[in-house]
Structure 1
């Protein structure tokens, strides 16, 4: 079977040599009309030409309907976005063997540059050089400067691996993945026969024929060398063989093969009223080249008496507007319910904690009843139902105790279920804002939940940190009050009770916990130690330790606490002094860390096309991850530099 396939390939290649494709071999000019579209009073089509030296514009293109000349607007197709056209690519396969040294490589370079100039703008051009081995210098690209810069650096040395070079060029075009409808070609320049290829000629010819890639071979200064191999490569899939004995003929040969790529243009016609609805022979001429096809122009509809129905282009938008309207209505309804529930909860909570209002309601029982009570009861019932559902969910998930502890530390007078309900209301409002801003609902809902949870977690953390800081600031003064009470003859428990009655928060509230624990049998030192753990106060732990030592060894507790207070105040003064000295470093750290984040976010919002390579390309993602890692390392480094233990 392998031998049979090889025989078929040889016969096919031989027939290609005997009967090459005339359309490509002789460079005959041609034109074709494609993609005709007719509308009332208008018509358009795509003009495709090959080997036409004239430029496609309104002065060279003439369009006729039967014998009537039609006004035509000619728009050259210079890129794929102007009209639906398949991509096109060519690879210049350049011989850089030792025989091309000197004037040969200079002539080849100049001819290749003129070839690039003659290519249409949308054609992707690449460069592959070969001597002992082929080397793909530039992959197919529309950037002509890349190829020009590469041509300026080529040097001639070594043997000639022509067959390997053609095979590698075909593989490079396959790797470009231009699609099945793409136009692909090779332009091969060689000044001699192959001397060092590992790929046989039969394989190269079969590969060209199978992939349908025409190869135009320019035989430069062959002299008496056998050009049959070059002819066979060119004929394998319909290319051309051109000979050149000097630099001028080489440039002319490259200019000739450059016209193999068709020039395209979009033609827009204005159809006169007398031709509307008629079938005509549409004929186009470009100098001596012509093309024609039959077209039936669209009839002009009569003027409607009533409001015209939506055009076909506008009809598909109606379902999208309907879907969007339903989504928006459902979202706004959900936000309204959430906000209403939050308002009801606030009113109910305020009524529950308002002693004066409760007293007024109790007195009101002995007077005439008012109708507002029913509305108040219904609001309370709705709020209780919502809070009950949220509370059941928190208990089922085991999160109620942890949230209750954090709320207690933050001194938030809310139940865990009430706080979670507020969080859900905030998440719903954020989801609504994101949807109205154009973000998909399936993405907005998770973002709203995550951001809502983060906001409530951070707010509680900030309140807890501030409360603990306030406790630490108040502790020396509160301890001084205890010292004064002890010197007046009070016991330690009585001195702590006097501190609680003073009412300065949060110290009074926390010390009252210690007194409450003593009433159920806990030692006062253990209760104070629990307060130190809740407030994460190392100074209070030292006070408890000093109290226990004094109880075991005896001594004046008031004097011990007085010395402890003096030490705490000196440490606090030193700590504030250190913070003042390190303020500049901390501010510099904040600016340095925030600057790339803020600037990157601003550029992403204002100029997304400028920042998109960072998110859409592999090098950009690597750079983004590296930058984020360096920012984190720098933040920790700055923190270590400015942190001074006091």
Structure 2
């Protein structure tokens, strides 16, 4: 029995010596992943070796489906073409042990990095702070992470990633790796995940994201960034675990080689890639070669341009263009007399610069606009339109909008005439001003509606400020400070008018007309009574607020009861238009009598009149003023 035990022990000892030797001889398998710069037929892979070692193209064998490749090259880690960025979250949630652990992890990363790999160290919160720009100086990098930085409010992860890609681009790196550490999700970025991902893809940058668990931690952001950029995600439960994670990442980057070659496979083939390094098992990867972008020419098809050229309606466009050019030439000749002597002489004695030409064009444009505006500003319709444009907050002037509307009307008329080959298409331009007017009215109505919704709440603030001892003007200032747009800007106009000497009640009446709001007239009357007779203005404002809220409830009730009619207005108007478009697409010749015969033309005009009339008739029925 003792002899058997001895034999077993000896066998176990021999096995213990042999098995590690076999494992050592086989070696740990390397990892193979697509490089961000990979394409076809020029392929690029990132080869991750299990340990640091010198590697050249002669020590690597690459095959695709068992066949050879051409142009094999091995690019070692580091150098001027690649780099890394450390992005460390310095928001308030990282204060204390988490940020100290992060800086310790950064120091561990520096110990493992490749000496010739440019590295940048950046901390981020609401803003980015570059502790060390791209450099290989070990002393400068060590000094940048020696101390724990201050924290601030906000975690702008997406903004920090875009800033990192911009620095990568300015450095001229062909590809890069961002090591991102945060204990939360993105809060407050001015950019989105899609924008950050696009910037990473353009610069061939991947992200190794590291999450540190905290009460506000959500891994979705970090996981999405890593997954979509071709990187990987790691998570630490405690700050002490960060050091090991960063050490591993630094070691991986220091032993990562880029293998490039040209594939010899045909299109649309499943490729099995094998990368073998002497002394190590082969690394495997798969991809599918893309299809060639070759489109068949097909049979000859006459270009649509031919039909346009031979169309008689093209003459309409040519005539209008010639008239416009002649008018412009005539106007230029008349306007030449108004030029100053210096500008006229400069054309003969010197060559005007581009800047002078640009300024002159702007000057002429402004004079034309002023001259045209002086001709029509006396008309009441333009005054109302000008007021609506200003109230709607458009960036163009009223004359600018009118000018663009006229241009759009002319283009619309010509396009419709050419497409339908009928002179009735010239009438299509008449609808463009209606569309412009609708857009302006829509924006003004939206602004007035928002003002109406904000009025009662802000009047309550005004009443509260009066009870607190403020004067009426002082209470309005308190109200305006806490208000939002458009209420704030409108009441600022009232306060500015009051400072210019206009009575407060008159300024409120002006705002009432601007906002088309009768409730503001009540406030104007209250201010006049307070100025002339005094009294408890706060209590009166409370009654006004009650009346306003009651009217708003009644308006909402009317909106609900008339909803069916409003929907019917849109449906009944859209059905004939959609039917006309449908028949034009399915069987256009069937509708030719409508615009080729006199009776058809009359029917089309009556159809348009009845369609527009029905729209306004239903609109008049369902829009009840309260």
How high is the TM-score relative to the length of structure 2?
0.39
